[in-house]
Amino acid sequence: MEKYVIKGGQVLEGEVTIAGAKNAALGILAAAVLTDEECIIENVPYVEDTKVLLAAIENIGAKVKYIDEHTVSICGGSIQDDEYLCVDDEYIRKIRASYYLLGALLGKFNRAQVALPGGCDIGLRPIDQHIKGFEALGATVDIDNGGKVVAKAEKLVGNHIYLDVVTVGATINIMMAAALAEGKTTIENAAKEPHIVDVANFLNSMGANIKGAGTDVIRIRGVQKLKGTCYSIIPDQIEAGTFMTMAAATGGNILIKNVIPKHLEAITSKLNEIGAKVIEYDDSVRVMADGRLKCTQIKTLPYPGFPTDMQPQMAVTLALSQGTSVITESIFENRFKYVNELARMGARIKVEGQSAIINGIERYTGASLVAPDLRAGAALVIAALAADGFSTIEDIKYVLRGYENFDGKIRDLGGMIQVVDSDKEVQKFKLMVG
């Protein structure tokens, strides 16, 4: 099994270029099947989640072609609309975004069967709001014995939908299904994340009529047909934030390129508050840190609040800061599993309910670690880079789901990290870096 081996203690310096947004890509790749024409999608991150979703899209009959590593052509015209059309393979169950094919296929064919989504185990992650939205549009939705979600409608008709919780997934799914529904749909209490806006822009470039994405009321006027398009995905807010906290935690100086600084404001303001220096340019940010940072309080919230997907990376940074910080997780109920791993590196963090109380220490010491999920895995890499000595991190499959060439980008910044798949290779790495 592949793992990272890391020698900590280097000051990370240089430039890193951020890939396209994984979470936007997952919505956009699925939405591309809504038209029979060809969609060319640029800036697709080359990560496991997008590869798995593309394999699933190909599996249901679409023509999928990588034009280059980051440009994908999808043509949904060859998908056969028959009652056996079903998205269900061992891979699709592993990724959360499989549920976007529900909204897309329901919108296109008025029926869809998709295996219940998997994804990181960070909480219950129900899909009741997705189902509520599809039902409001006129679909019946059942979960069959095999754990498949089966949605069917005579036809989809626009409606007024109030989401009981702010959810990214349901907002995107309902937008996709409503794009080809008859009449007007209003989604109230919609999520406002940058990737919601990106998916809406993509759908509009296909001829959809969606207004208000990025606010909490989205209005969709159904159109009869969508057409092919060429579209470039926005940069990944969370990958950028991960490198920002990496600079802060390692006392580094990193220019993070190909970002939209506005999407990073919640992270920028917290890093400034704890004493790191963030300089914003048009499409890049520089993060510098020198000496020990200060403590703070953070509560994760839907956008534009502090993103839950940055919570573990920020905790790793605060665990090295002076004083007592508190992080409250308000989106997912099981997102502190990395705390036990950090404790092995010397961190002093106590979890009480949905809050982590963090007493800053001066240094981490290297340890053998296991990544509990995607963002926590990235956070452990940051901790290991800041630690004294060597660390190994197992289960890096989670990290590979969402970060493109993570180890290569870190090496370019001067970090000592290698992907290895045996203890012998760990020893070789140790001998090599000394």
Specify whether 75 is catalytic: no
> For residues 235 and 360, which CB has a smaller minimum distance to ligand UD1 in the complex?
235
Neighbouring residues of 181: CB distance < 8 A, sequence distance ≥ 6:
107, 137, 138, 155, 156, 157, 158, 220, 222
CB of 321 to ligand UD1, least distance (A): 24
> For residues 52 and 168, which CB has a smaller minimum distance to ligand UD1 in the complex?
168
CB-nearest residue to ligand UD1: 169
CB of 128 to ligand UD1, least distance (A): 5
Pick the catalytic residue from 39, 75, 86, 120: 120
Helix and strand tally (H, E) in the chain? 14, 23
d(CA 256, CA 221): 38
CB of 205 to ligand UD1, least distance (A): 20
Q: Apex CA 205: angle with CA 91 and CA 224, to 5°?
A: 90
> For residues 309 and 407, which CB has a smaller minimum distance to ligand UD1 in the complex?
309
Instruction: Compute how many other C-beta atoms are within 10 angstroms of the C-beta atom of residue 97.
Output: 24
For the chain, helix, strand, coil in percent to 5 are 35, 25, 35
3-state DSSP call for residue 27?
helix
> For residues 339 and 367, which CB has a smaller minimum distance to ligand UD1 in the complex?
339
Positions that interact with ligand UD1 (CB under 6 A): 23, 26, 96-97, 123-130, 165, 167-170, 191, 308-309, 331-332
Instruction: Compute how many other C-beta atoms are within 10 angstroms of the C-beta atom of residue 123.
Output: 13
CB of 272 to ligand UD1, least distance (A): 23
Strand segments, DSSP code E, in 18-172 are 38-42, 63-68, 71-75, 111-115, 140-143, 148-152, 160-162
Q: Is the dihedral of CA 344, 383, 398, 26 positive or negative?
A: positive
Please say whether the beta carbons of 85 and 113 come within 8 A.
yes
CB of 161 to ligand UD1, least distance (A): 12
> For residues 56 and 255, which CB has a smaller minimum distance to ligand UD1 in the complex?
56
3-state DSSP call for residue 152?
strand
> For residues 351 and 361, which CB has a smaller minimum distance to ligand UD1 in the complex?
351
Instruction: Compute how many other C-beta atoms are within 10 angstroms of the C-beta atom of residue 352.
Output: 10
CB of 97 to ligand UD1, least distance (A): 5
Q: Which residue has the tokens 């970002």?
A: 259
Residues acting as catalytic residues: 120
